[in-house]
Amino acid sequence: MNRPPFLLFVPFYGRGGSGEFVRSVTLAQAVARRWPQLRIEFLLPGGPGTRQDAPFPSTCHDGPDTGKGAFDSLHIERLRPDLVIFDCGGRSESLRTCRRLGITSAYISDRDGTLKKPFRLDWMWLLDEHWHQREHVTAEALLPSQRLRSHFSRTRRLYFDTYYAEDAADWSLLDAPLRQALEQPFVLLSPGGGGYALDGRPVSEVFVEVAERIHAETGLTCLSLLGPLYQGAIRSATTQTLTMVAQPLFRELMRRARLVLTNGGHSLHQALAMRAVCVVAPLGGSDQPARIGAYDRAGLVVEAAPNARALGDAALRLLRDDAAHRAVADRVAALNIVNGIPAMCARIATLLGLEAP
């Protein structure tokens, strides 16, 4: 190969959510740290309420969703990458373009709807790699029918539970007073990307209201991450707020927090990997209620309705009940949660003939 290998990431995410964007960026950054000679670019969905701040060269699609397949195919043919990684979205025409041009294709799925595509008859012969983030951590990844189909497919597969950067957190990114405050027990509130609303209010503002109540009744420091999609301005005299933090720092905050309040999306699996005790409410995708309910029944999280009163009540009960808090923590600590970033990096190394990570 006369030029550096070229990876093209194509994450698909709806307005208000950003989990697929963060996962693709986290993987791209891990790849770039390990193999800095690689060329990396992104094709992104456009329009209001979508994240477009990828720290890599990117091209945005601002047309209707029905035109996304043609957009992807056009730019795949123009760019001629060595590997295209589709995250939770992709059209058969794009896979056919990759196949015609000799470009390796990989697809990341993370829930039932996105898991169906790699088992379509055409995809089973077009797709080179299928990387699945299990919908429920440590659970069986595939249905029996899907396991059977996988034996007759040319697609290679791997399975994992969550994703996070393994590099050390840089605490100097936080100002000194906040670092000092976080040396004592604290509560972390993270509603995700911050693009959703509850009863007409931005979810970030609802979480700050909950934080103020927790602080008022317990005296604990509360840190609320508003999310990169939140467009407002919040000032609180009693709680700390940040728009967002770097992923390694986010991971370390979850690990150190006495309690984490979050949604049922990607942040929840990262929190469980950090052995965090969580109060969780469904705030976005239709997949969240069933996942949260299953984890609550297993005693891995405490479920709350998506409103300020219910979130505050659930958090305060858990903070005041040491035995209940310890029971949840013990069950979470017993999980064997697989981080997908090292596994996907290893597959990328194999596919591109790179030195193994």
Q: Using an 8 Å Cβ cutoff, are 127 and 92 in contact?
A: no
The pLDDT of residue 48:
64
Between 19-34 and 340-352, two packed helices, what is the crossing angle to 10 degrees? 60
Choose the weakest-confidence range: 49-63, 210-224, 269-283: 49-63
List the structure tokens of 90. Answer: 């992709």
- Residues with Cβ within 8 Å of 148's Cβ and at least 6 positions away in sequence, in order, are none
Is residue 227's pLDDT more than 90? no
Q: What is the pTM of this model?
A: 0.87
CA atoms within 13 A on the CB side of 39: 13
In this predicted model, which residue has the larger pLDDT, 328 or 141? 328
Q: Examine domains 6-165+339-352 and 171-333 and report if their fold is the same.
A: yes
Closest to 344 measured CA to CA, from 154, 161, 75, 173: 161
Is residue 113's pLDDT more than 90? no
Helix, strand, coil percent values for the chain (each to nearest 5): 40, 20, 40
Domain boundaries, the chain: 6-165+339-352, 171-333
For residues 240-270, one letter each, b for 16 or more C-beta atoms within 10 angstroms of the residue's C-beta and e for the rest, the string is: bbbebbebbbbbbbbbebbbbbbbbbbbbbb
At the top level of CATH, which class does the domain 171-333 belong to?
A: alpha beta
Residues 122-171 pLDDT 10s: 999 999 999 999 989 988 889 899 999 998 999 999 999 999 988 888 99
Q: How many angstroms separate the CA atoms of 22 and 34, rounded?
A: 18
The pLDDT of residue 229:
79
Q: How far is CA 169 from CA 162, 164, 173, in A?
A: 18, 12, 9
Closest to 285 measured CA to CA, from 17, 105, 61, 21: 17
Q: How many residues does the chain have?
A: 357
pLDDT bin (cut points 50, 70, 90) of residue 67 is confident
The pLDDT of residue 293:
95
Q: How many angstroms separate the CA atoms of 18 and 318, rounded?
A: 29
Q: Which residue has the tokens 């194999």?
A: 350
State mean pLDDT over 253-271: 94
* Percent of the chain residues topping a pLDDT of 90: 69
Is residue 16's pLDDT more than 60? no
CA angle 272, 276, 278 (to 5 degrees): 90
pLDDT bin (cut points 50, 70, 90) of residue 111 is confident
Is residue 311's pLDDT more than 60? yes
User: Both ends of the chain: CA-CA distance in Å?
Assistant: 20
CA atoms within 13 A on the CB side of 300: 23
Q: Dihedrals φ, ψ of 326, to 5°?
A: -65, -35
Domain 6-165+339-352 sits in which CATH superfamily?
Answer: Glycogen Phosphorylase B; (3.40.50.2000)
The pLDDT mean for the chain works out to 91
